[in-house]
Amino acid sequence: MFLMRIGAPGAERPVVRADDDYYIDVSDLTTDYDERFFGSGGLARLAEQVEERFEAGDVLPFGDQRIGAPIARPHQILCIGLNYADHAAEAGLPVPSEPILFTKSPNTLIGPYDDVRIPRGSDRTDWEVELGIVIGSRTSYLDDVADAAGAIAGYVLVNDVSERTFQYDRGGQWSKGKSAETFNPAGPWLATPDEIPDVNDLDMTLDVSGVRRQTGNTKTMIFNPYFLVHHLSQFMVLEPGDLINTGTPPGVGQGLKPEKYLQPGDVMELSITRLGTARQRVVGPR
């Protein structure tokens, strides 16, 4: 299934994508794609009903309705730094021996076509296309990497927007550079694992104002999604609906020579195989 949420910010309702033009309304089956939904076996219950409704032709047109992030605000957004060796190289940093972890404020989550706002005092706001993992059950101390698959609800396209001066020059605390408002566009949908033939072989791209900046594939990750979920479960409890941003391939603005950063009026367009495409316009500070 491809889970989506449509409607005005703060008033999204859950639907399931039928195809590019139509959706199945499931707001009578669940109030939202949130901790309660994922943690109570909601995906399995939903799958049965969706199949029946699809076969009955019970679909509605998207039209011009806004598409929100495919999950409600999670307890936490966990992020993995330098998870592609070639991205570490462009940043001039060593390949990590185990995952680098930082957090991002959950209120950074926005829809895939919403505007990204440059924060006050920023002159180094950067882009990062990433694969996102959504946790499907309360998870801690997994015994084996193989157990991680059962803890994953699905995958989502995300843009881990970053402010590099805040990140590196304001005390070396990465979360400062990651948590400005609008800094985590996600969607358009969450794809359940059965929709992804091989999560370790997904093409990724990001363009800025029509110029290709990032081209990558998840097969070049240092730590793959299953390893990451297992690893994180050794240090914390992962809650249903939590989001893990798994790192970005090379081509970020910081790595260009000369460096190049987002300006008001720029448009970011990004994609990952089977996870759709997203488009965000960049606007200036409040």
Last residue of one domain, picked from the residues 37, 61, 85:
61
* Phi, psi for 154 (deg, rounded to 5): 170, -170
| This prediction's pTM | 0.96
CA distance 6 to 70: 8
Q: Which helix (H) or strand (E) holds 38?
A: helix 35-39
The amino acid at residue 107 is N
- For residue 107, the tally of other CB atoms under 10 A from its CB is 13
CA distance 138 to 150: 11
* Residues 232 and 118 both lie in one domain: yes
* Residues 99 and 20 both lie in one domain: no
* Residues 57 and 194 both lie in one domain: no
* Residues 132 and 257 both lie in one domain: yes
How is the chain split among helix, strand and coil, in percent rounded to 5? 20, 30, 45
CA distance 256 to 157: 23
- For residue 28, the tally of other CB atoms under 10 A from its CB is 9
* Residues 94 and 196 both lie in one domain: yes
**Residue 179 falls within a domain, yes or no?**
yes
Chain position carrying tokens 């940043």: 91
CA distance 114 to 112: 6
**Residue 67 falls within a domain, yes or no?**
no
* Residues 52 and 83 both lie in one domain: no
**Residue 70 falls within a domain, yes or no?**
no
Q: Which helix (H) or strand (E) holds 17?
A: strand 13-17
* Residues 115 and 199 both lie in one domain: yes
* Residues 55 and 97 both lie in one domain: no
* Residues 45 and 134 both lie in one domain: no
Q: How many domains does the chain have?
A: 2
Do the bridges between strand 116-117 and strand 276-283 make them parallel or antiparallel, or are there none, so unpaired?
A: parallel
Contact 16, 50 (CB under 8 A): yes
**Residue 69 falls within a domain, yes or no?**
no
Contact 170, 206 (CB under 8 A): no
Q: Which domain holds residue 57?
A: 2-61
Q: Which helix (H) or strand (E) holds 229?
A: helix 225-233
Taking only the tens place, the pLDDT of each residue in 201-256 is 999 999 999 999 999 999 999 999 999 999 999 999 999 999 999 999 999 999 99
Task: Output DSSP code: residue 75.
Answer: S
* Residues 148 and 41 both lie in one domain: no
Half-sphere exposure of 235 (CA within 13 A, CB side): 10
- pLDDT digit string (tens) for the chain, length 286 residues: 999 999 999 999 999 999 999 999 999 999 999 999 999 999 999 998 999 999 899 999 999 999 999 999 999 999 999 899 888 887 788 888 999 999 999 999 999 999 999 999 999 999 999 999 999 999 999 999 999 999 999 999 999 999 999 988 887 778 899 999 999 999 999 999 999 999 999 999 999 999 999 999 999 999 999 999 999 999 999 999 999 999 999 999 999 999 999 999 999 999 999 999 999 999 999 9
Question: In this structure, what token pair is assigned to residue 202?
Answer: 């997904």
Question: In this structure, what token pair is assigned to residue 183?
Answer: 């800094």
* Residues 220 and 95 both lie in one domain: yes
* Residues 115 and 182 both lie in one domain: yes
